[in-house]
Amino acid sequence: MHVARHILFQHETIPILHDVCLDVYQGDSVAIVGVSGSGKSTLLSLLAGLDLPSAGTVSLFDQPLAALDEDGRALLRRRHVGFVFQNFQLMPQLSALENVMLPLELAGTPRARDLARAMLERVGLGERMRHYPRLLSGGEQQRVALARAFVGRPALLFADEPTGNLDPASGAQVIDLLFELNREQGTALVLVTHDADLAARCRSVYRLSQGRLQADPR
Amino acid sequence: MKGLRMAWRFGWREGVSGELTLLVLALLLAVCATSSVAFFADRVRQGLVLRANQLMAADMVINADTPLPPALADEARRNGLQVSGSVTFPSMAMAAGPVALASLRAVPGNYPLRGDMRIGLADGRVRQGALRPGPGEAWADPRLMTRLSVRLGDTIEIGQRRLRLTAVLLREPDSALDTFALMPRLLFNQTDLGATGLMGPGARAQWRLMVSGPLAAVNAWGRAIAPRLPAGARIENVEEARPELRNAMDRVRRFLGLTAMLTVTLAAGAMVLAVRRYVARHWQSVAVLRCLGATQRELATVFTLLFAVLGLASGALGAGLGYALQEALTRMAIPDARDALPPPAAWLFALGPVTAWVLLCGLALPALAALYRVPPWAALRDEWTPRSVSMGLPPLAILALVALSLWQVGDWRLAGWLFAGLCGYFLLAGLAAWGMVRGTRRLAHGGGAIGWRFGVAALARRPWLAVLQVVGLSMGLLALLTLTVVRTDLLDTWRRGVPVDAPNQFVINLQPDQVPAVDAAFATAGLPPPALSPIARGRLVAINGLPVRPAQFAPGEAQRLAAREFNLSWRDDLPPANQLAAGRWWTAGASGEFSVEQGLAQKLAIRLGDRLAFDVAGSRLAGRVTSLRTVAWDSFRVNFFVLMPRTMLAGRETSLVTSFYLPPARRVFADLLVRRFPNLTVIDVTAVLEQLRAVIDRLAQTVEALFLLTLAAGVLVLWTALSATGDERLRDAGLMRALGASRRQLRTVMMAELLWLGAFTGLLAGAGAMALGGLAGWKLFDLPFALDGRLPFLGLLCGVVLVPLAGWPLLRRVLRQSPLSTLRAR
């Protein structure tokens, strides 16, 4: 990708990202670090095609996102992309199993229930399948979110502060699981985090500062 | 298929978790109210037609002052209809001793065609059915038997024929057409009519031709013969014969329609709030779905399917509940006829789902459309605010609802008044709420206790939500106040229309020279002196110098009114139960003036200032219309279509008429009066009065039953208005607890907000109820427009009690929730 992003606020243009350039390849793990308000989440939105840049291009799987409409981008995400959010973002009205089945059902994958069940077993929540999110701890909720993200075997996974809402012990457990699944499925991983230890586990680290993205020397 | 599966999963889960409860309740209430009123009105209409036919003893009746041409009956028979008839005439009936004036009716062997006759036999049994006296037999009204001092088995002489009295006539099927029959009845077989010798040339009698058969064939025959009816003949209409019952039914239909309209409006308000809450609780989930690759179209399919099924299910269930409620209403209103009533028209069952869909499409879809438009990035950043997409649907939905209400109320002007009133109220309440929010913003920044400052600030921080909440809450309170205070006053007023001591005896044919003796008889019996009105019979012969010909008026009632003789009277002052609708009342000594009843004036196109001429016993009485009056016909006082000043009838031959209340224990006084003054006719209308009073009581009950639905809708609005902000309150409270606020402080903050909200909305609702009550009394019950000054204070009191009470469960939830769980949910 090669993009810039600014927003208009009371007729004034406020730049968020300047001339950001980033390439992610299959099997890569990339961490983007930066202070709060540096534009990390904005960058993630652009990378995943959740939002469009003010200038420049973002391509996913050689497909320029600007050439696709909103629904086209959604279909691309459905086929190739997984997400893990800081605040888990599980559907409160669906059970753990139903939450994991959701991306499979959206993609029309057969045997969605069996696949989701197997994935929940994999993340260690075989006993909690019928439980609703409100009955799960933060760590368990994030493990359900990981199962949901990986169940469709996405080629690319975006994780936004995946440990941001967790205590250190639960956070460590979730991160171990994230990297295990990443390795098992050969998924490219783009991670946004504050956590230097977490970033260090990625193959490459970029720092976002004052709207500019720079490779972090290791 | 995928959309259907997801919609099912979402719907099922949300149904189970209670996310859709408020929405479904609002829909059920709206559908139940509209359906029950529609079913009820339809069955009452059908019931009236059915009963009307039974009450006329036929499906169609032609009444005439002269024998009807046999061609009319022949034509009916040729069309496959059944034909019967009767001849009714006044004559003296004689027994061994006394003589009494009776209304004699001769009936053929196939009388009655519809309805039942009820008679008492010598052995004490009562028989009911299509019965008639055989040749040589007579059946007599108990009043006639008392006057003649006869018993069953005795002989009665009418003209030159002697008949044996074989049964007591307890009820005739066509009594509705003879409600005010002046004389007691003697029924006998038509084969004996010739032998009486009473039907000589010039005999005064009423001939009835009765027809029954398939409704379409009867109506076709009626239409065919109507233009060929001889002068003085008319098609009978039972509704015209019983105006007081029709008035009561019309009034209750309007009242029920208005109640349904109010319920639907309240339910719509609750729905708007419930959908808003639904969107607020779901947009983040939708954003995640967008991230996971759900397209807008798929989301639109899921939600449209979900809500379409919801509409269908709630519509069907609501219609079912409406039907059950209608059964209860019908049982209350017309208990004796309920089983005989046909079911409501089938198409009315579609009304429920259609109402639900109109409400959903118009009020829920624009808000829901915001959900399809949630950008996927909203899953990462909590910055997005849902905004309704107008799509022009709300005005369409409102229009559809208005049309539905108008159809139900059946009175465009009245429904228009209510609708305009409600719109005006929403606008004013919205403006007042906006002003209040602006004002509180200043207060919130000022000093004062923390509870007060934070509580009030909470309102100022969410201005639009606060406005919505104030309007919603005040709507709920308005409904509660209207239904508890205003309703009781109005229904009592209606019931008071027929007071317990309403006159139940009418005395006619009293001669002026008998007045002192009659007054003395009343005084001896301990009764107040009767209020006497002079009466003269006159026919309207000219309007503005042009002769009146019945044919020039619209067929039906207007033609009949133009052809008939009116009871005219003179008075110095406006009679009780009359109100001036236009013009002025005359001064003492005036002459050449008429006061005309407004309904009559409308039907005969008589306007204020028109010159009228009446033919009274061969002489002409002319004058100008100087006033129009509304008359409470159901007051059971002596009332007149046309009144004039004393000078105009002075010196003419008039008799006097009066009505008075005779307590049931002193019934014998009426008989004594007739024995002492044989020329007097005393008519006992106790039965009619009791029937009317019972009907009004039952109808008032039906209105009260439907009010329960409106009340439920009002409570639902209150509840949804508070629930709408429940999540925000939980988050705010969690934050405050985390910052060290004690439970007590939190309670104070929330109570301050609820009290302030309650006081303001209560005051608004009280003012609204005051205006609504005034309007309803004025427009529905013809009372002078008056405002009840207690209502704003009562509203204030209700607000400060009910709003915190309704908010109590929410308050408890906020206080019980741990700050960690609320903050973690952020």
Give the pLDDT of residue B491.
65
Average pLDDT, stretch B566-584? 85
* Overall size of chain A counted in residues: 218
Residue with tokens 């009665």: B156
3-class state of residue A102 by DSSP: helix
Give percent above pLDDT 70 in chain B.
77
For residue B732, CA distances in Å to B462, B735, B809 come to 12, 5, 17
Q: What angle do CA A5, A11, A15 make, to 5 degrees?
A: 25
Give the pLDDT of residue B101.
78
Q: Average model confidence (pLDDT) for chain B?
A: 78
- Give yes or no for residue A92 having a pLDDT over 90: no
Bridge-partner residues for B630, per DSSP? Answer: B579
How many angstroms away from the CA of B469 is the closest CA of chain A?
Answer: 26
Average pLDDT, stretch B211-239? 78
Element at B212 (helix H, strand E): strand B206-212
DSSP-derived letter for residue B590 is -
CB atoms within 10 A of CB A178: 26
Cβ distance B311 to B360 under 8 Å? yes
Give the pLDDT of residue B1.
56
Element at B770 (helix H, strand E): helix B743-780
H-assigned helices in B334-392 = 351-359, 365-372
DSSP-derived letter for residue B229 is P
With an 8 Å Cβ cutoff, are A94 and B297 in contact?
Answer: no
Query: What does DSSP say about strands A2-9 and B234-235: parallel, antiparallel, or unpaired?
Result: unpaired
* B459: Cα within 13 Å, side-chain hemisphere: 35
Q: Is the pTM of this model over 0.80?
A: no
How many angstroms away from the CA of A148 is the closest CA of chain B?
Answer: 9
- Give yes or no for residue B388 having a pLDDT over 70: no
CA B683 to mean position of chain CA atoms? 29
- What is the Cα Rg of chain B in Å? 34
DSSP-derived letter for residue A124 is T
**Which position has the higher pLDDT, B742 or B203?**
B742
**Which position has the higher pLDDT, B4 or A111?**
A111
Highest mean pLDDT among B163-172, B279-288, B375-384, B482-491: B163-172
Give the pLDDT of residue B247.
63
Average pLDDT, stretch A67-72? 83
pLDDT single digits (tens) A125-161: 989 998 988 888 888 999 999 999 999 899 999 998 8
Structure tokens of B113?
């065609």
The pLDDT-based confidence of B179 (bands split at 50, 70, 90) is very low
Whether ipTM > 0.90 holds is: no
Q: Is A68 on the interface with B (CB under 8 A)?
A: no
For residue B12, CA distances in Å to A112, B242, B288, B542 come to 19, 54, 20, 75
- B384-397 in b/e form (b: 16+ CB < 10 A) is bebebeeeebbeeb
- Give yes or no for residue A183 having a pLDDT over 80: yes
Structure tokens of B513?
């020279």
3-class state of residue A199 by DSSP: helix
Of B311, B233, B318, B249, the closest CA to residue B62 belongs to B233
**Which position has the higher pLDDT, B797 or B13?**
B797
DSSP-derived letter for residue B344 is P
Chain A residue closest to B822 (CA)? A134
C-alpha to C-alpha distance for A86 and A35, rounded to whole angstroms: 15
The pLDDT-based confidence of B156 (bands split at 50, 70, 90) is very high
CB atoms within 10 A of CB A186: 10
Cβ distance B262 to B404 under 8 Å? no
- Give yes or no for residue B7 having a pLDDT over 60: yes
Cβ distance B701 to B785 under 8 Å? no
With an 8 Å Cβ cutoff, are B9 and A94 in contact?
Answer: yes
Residue B583 Rama label (left phi>0; alpha psi -120 to 50; beta): left
Residues 6+ apart with CB under 8 A from B542: B548, B611, B612, B613, B622
The pLDDT-based confidence of B107 (bands split at 50, 70, 90) is very high
With an 8 Å Cβ cutoff, are A50 and B6 in contact?
Answer: no
Average pLDDT, stretch B500-521? 83
Average pLDDT, stretch B90-94? 81
- Give yes or no for residue B21 having a pLDDT over 50: yes
Residue with tokens 């400052």: B453
Q: Is omega for the bond preceding B112 within 30 degrees of 0, making it cis?
A: yes
Bridge-partner residues for B537, per DSSP? Answer: B567
3-class state of residue B159 by DSSP: coil
Which of A95-109, B99-113, B718-732 is predicted least confidently? B718-732
Residues 6+ apart with CB under 8 A from B617: B536, B537, B538, B652, B653
C-alpha to C-alpha distance for A99 and A113, rounded to whole angstroms: 10
Average pLDDT, stretch B743-751? 79
CA A134 to mean position of chain CA atoms? 22
The pLDDT-based confidence of B190 (bands split at 50, 70, 90) is very high
For residue B601, CA distances in Å to A29, B293, B608 come to 93, 73, 9
- What is the Cα Rg of chain A in Å? 17
- Give yes or no for residue B240 having a pLDDT over 70: no
CB atoms within 10 A of CB B603: 18
Q: Is A102 on the interface with B (CB under 8 A)?
A: yes
C-alpha to C-alpha distance for B612 and B591, rounded to whole angstroms: 13
- Give yes or no for residue B180 having a pLDDT over 50: no
Q: Is A81 on the interface with B (CB under 8 A)?
A: yes
Give the pLDDT of residue A144.
93
How many angstroms away from the CA of B732 is the closest CA of chain A?
Answer: 18
Instruction: Output the CA torsion B224→B114→B52→B220 (10° steps).
Output: -20
With an 8 Å Cβ cutoff, are A83 and B289 in contact?
Answer: no
**Which position has the higher pLDDT, B93 or B682?**
B93
- Give yes or no for residue B822 having a pLDDT over 70: no
Give the pLDDT of residue A23.
80
- Give yes or no for residue A117 having a pLDDT over 90: yes
Residues 6+ apart with CB under 8 A from B682: B505, B506, B507, B670, B673, B674
Instruction: Output the CA torsion A75→A80→A84→A85 (10° steps).
Output: -30
**Which position has the higher pLDDT, B761 or B469?**
B761
Cβ distance B35 to B706 under 8 Å? no
Chain A residue closest to B14 (CA)? A93
Q: In what order do the strands lie in the sheet with A12-21?
A: A12-21, A2-9, A55-57
Chain B residue closest to A107 (CA)? B293
Q: What angle do CA B321, B327, B330 make, to 5 degrees?
A: 140
3-class state of residue B517 by DSSP: helix
Which of B108-112, B271-275, B494-498 is predicted least confidently? B494-498
Cβ distance B473 to B767 under 8 Å? no
Q: Say which amino acid occupies B709.
A: L
Q: Mutation test of the interface with chain A: which of B289, B292, B303, choosing the one with the most A Cβ atoms within 10 A?
A: B292
Contacts of B10 in chain A (CB under 8 A): 93
Give percent above pLDDT 90 in chain B.
11
- Give yes or no for residue B339 having a pLDDT over 60: no
Residues 6+ apart with CB under 8 A from B621: B538, B568, B613, B614, B615, B644, B648, B649
Which of B329-343, B574-588, B767-781 is predicted least confidently? B329-343
- Give yes or no for residue B113 having a pLDDT over 80: yes
Average pLDDT, stretch B366-394? 70
Highest mean pLDDT among B398-402, B578-582, B803-807, B822-826: B578-582
CA B405 to mean position of chain CA atoms? 14
Give the pLDDT of residue B732.
73
Average pLDDT, stretch B47-66? 70
The pLDDT-based confidence of B781 (bands split at 50, 70, 90) is low
**Which position has the higher pLDDT, B114 or B97?**
B114
Cβ distance A58 to A3 under 8 Å? yes
C-alpha to C-alpha distance for B103 and B100, rounded to whole angstroms: 10
C-alpha to C-alpha distance for B611 and B542, rounded to whole angstroms: 8
pLDDT single digits (tens) B490-502: 666 666 656 667 7
3-class state of residue B185 by DSSP: strand
Which residues, numbered 12 to 41 in chain A, qualify as contacts with chain B under a Cβ-Cβ cut-off of 8 Å? 41
With an 8 Å Cβ cutoff, are A71 and B380 in contact?
Answer: no
- Give yes or no for residue B80 having a pLDDT over 70: yes
C-alpha to C-alpha distance for B35 and B49, rounded to whole angstroms: 21
Which residues from B are below 8 Å from A when comparing CB atoms? 2, 5-6, 9-10, 13-14, 17, 19, 284-285, 287-298, 375-377, 379-381, 824, 826
Closest residue to A85, CB basis, from B289, B293, B380: B380
Cβ distance B32 to B325 under 8 Å? yes
Of B104, B122, B86, B204, the closest CA to residue B159 belongs to B104
Of B713, B776, B706, B497, the closest CA to residue B41 belongs to B706
Q: Is A87 on the interface with B (CB under 8 A)?
A: yes
pLDDT single digits (tens) B646-667: 888 777 767 788 888 888 777 7
Q: What angle do CA B742, B747, B749 make, to 5 degrees?
A: 95
C-alpha to C-alpha distance for A181 and B700, rounded to whole angstroms: 72
* Overall size of chain B counted in residues: 826
- Give yes or no for residue B242 having a pLDDT over 60: no
DSSP-derived letter for residue B482 is I
Give the pLDDT of residue B609.
92
pLDDT single digits (tens) A188-209: 999 888 888 888 888 889 888 8
B474 burial level (CB within 10 Å; 0-12, 13-18, 19+):
buried
Greatest CA span in chain A, whole angstroms? 54
Give the pLDDT of residue B50.
59
Cα dihedral across residues B747, B752, B758, B761: positive or negative: negative
